[in-house]
Amino acid sequence: MTLADLLPTLKQLPESEKLELVRLLAADLCSGMNISPFEPFKTYFLPTPYNAFGAGVILMQAMSTAESPEH
């Protein structure tokens, strides 16, 4: 069965069933593709700007340079 064969029938579905079809198709695509580089139940280190005081100093210097009338 082709998409052209299905479209007339799909257009007759109520909106709630169309949304459910979209959800099912998206879930099917995601399960068939290995798009997530993460492993389930594994803890990953995520660097954050907290306690990165050197980065704050560099940002402040860049901001003051950008605000100076010479530039």
Residue 39 or residue 20, greater confidence? 20
> Model pTM?
0.44
Q: Tell me, what's the pLDDT at 52?
A: 78
Q: Quick one: average pLDDT of 27-33?
A: 74
Confidence of residue 36 (pLDDT cuts 50, 70, 90): low
Is the predicted pLDDT of residue 7 greater than 90, yes or no? yes
Task: Give 2-67 as a 3 state SS string.
Answer: CHHHHHHHHHCCCHHHHHHHHHHHHHHHHHHCCCCCCCCCCCCCCCCCCCCHHHHHHHHHHHHHHH
